Amino acid sequence: MDCVLVAGGAGYIGSHACKALSKAGYIPVCYDNLSTGWEEAVKFGPFERGDLLDRARIDEVLAKHKPIAIMHFAALSQVGESMDDPGLYWRTNVMGSLNLIEAAVEADIKNFIFSSTCATYGDQDNVVLDENSVQQPINAYGASKRAVENILYDFERRYGLRHVIFRYFNVAGADPEGEVGEYHQPETHLIPLMLDAIDGKRDALTIFGTDYDTPDGTCIRDYVHVCDLVDAHLLGLNWLKDGKQSEVFNLGTGAGFSVRAVVDHSKDVTNKAVPIIERTRRAGDCTQLVSGSTKAESELGWTPVRSNLKAMIGDAWRWHQTGHYSK
Ligand code: UFG
């Protein structure tokens, strides 16, 4: 069986990718330093503990498993934290990725799939965000991801390392079978924090900013189910294996929901009210991030099936009640 190296395979999205790869007949080799991931989430293939800043360790793991491709999920991904400590983001996300990309070239790996983000587009009022939209990130997180995209363009030109870059919109939900799910310590994302507030694990959900230029004053995001998202990665892998050219795809549904709309939907799913506190805006937040592209559907053949708020909140709620990792 072919191996795929999954950098960040112990994290939220990486663990779902490992499950999907294993189901598709690959051996997912998880490379993770467990700084934000969970060893308990490594269930579908071998675990190689290691840091992306440790080039010798990456080389060792690539030589041992000889993967046919790399899926790179390992990164810090909190917008607010990236504003507080930009150096941490440039070091971890950019230097770490450069190590992995250089190691891939030296190990003669031909296929590289990279988790990028819609945060590379920045705040562009009333602009339909497609893959050709100008990238002008307003936070260090988005800037660090854009930098890695640029590294990939250069390395393809110079060394022929082919890539698929996925620019994620807001990833949500959990494995419907409950084997893996979203669990961050500390948690900063809207849906898990909202579920904590619903079942009393925290006093209330804080809504950051009610004075945005949106119909209800709260930020608008495009939510995509984590299982749909990793399905796109499998399609991206086939795309590269078929010898097709490097590409960039947005992964979003094109439907935008405000923070208040997400809260309202959660009442329908859980039958419980969400205690709320309204506060000022959080640094680095864009007003609206919604994909305006159907390129992943038309070119890759991607069909999101669970990316509706009911399924995303429902799956997250089930995971929230039953499955947690402990360090
Ligand atoms: N929000 C709140 N209260 C909270 C948490 C979030 O009101 O307690 C709001 C945020 O202000 C934002 C929305 O809910 O408007 C979504 O926030 P998240 O923290 O869940 O997600 P972000 O949009 O900040 O970031 C996520 C990923 C990034 C990705 C980005 C693209 O973490 O990796 O989506 O929008 F780049």
Which amino acid is located at 216 in the chain? Answer: D
Beta bridge partners of 69: 4, 111
Q: Note the pLDDT of residue 126.
A: 67
pLDDT of residue 124: 84
- CA dist 308 and 98 (Å) reads 35
Ligand 1 and 282: CB distance under 6 A: yes
Q: Is the CB of 247 under 6 A from ligand 1?
A: no
Distance (angstroms) between ligand 1 centre and the Cα of 121 equals 15
Q: Identify the band that residue 325 occupies on the pLDDT scale cut at 50, 70 and 90.
A: confident
User: Strand pairing partners for 288?
Assistant: 220
Centre of ligand 1 from the C-alpha of residue 192, in Å: 11
Q: What is the pLDDT of residues 227-238, one digit of tens each?
A: 999 999 999 999
Q: H helices within the chain, ranges in order?
A: 12-23, 55-65, 79-84, 86-89, 96-106, 140-159, 190-198, 226-241, 259-270, 295, 309-322
The full set of domains in the chain, from first to last, is 3-172+224-251 (3.40.50.720), 190-222+254-322 (3.90.25.10)
* 323 Cα: distance to centroid of ligand 1 (angstroms): 22
327 pLDDT higher than 60: no
Backbone angles phi, psi at 104, to 5 degrees: -60, -45
**With a 6 A CB cut-off, is 129 part of the ligand 1 pocket?**
no
Residue nearest to atom 12 of ligand 1 (CA): 219
Determine which residue's CA is closest to atom 14 belonging to ligand 1: 190
Is the beta carbon of 138 within 6 A of some atom in ligand 1? no
> Inter-axis angle of helices 190-198 and 259-270, to 10 degrees?
40
Burial track 122-156 (b if 16+ CB lie within 10 A, e otherwise)? bbbeeeebebebebebbbbbbbbbbbbbebbeebe
Share of the chain above pLDDT 90, in %: 93
Amino acid code (one letter) for 82 = S
The pLDDT value given to residue 33:
98
Any atom of ligand 1 within 6 Å of the Cβ of 70 = no
Indicate the SS3 state at residue 144. Answer: helix
Question: Where does the pLDDT of residue 284 fall: very low under 50, low under 70, confident under 90, or very high at 90 and above?
Answer: confident
Residue whose CA is at the smallest distance from ligand 1 atom 34: 170
Tell me, yes or no, if the pTM score tops 0.95.
yes
Kindly list the catalytic residues: 141
β pairing state of 69-72 and 47-49: unpaired
> How do residues 176-187 score in pLDDT, each as one tens digit?
999 999 999 899
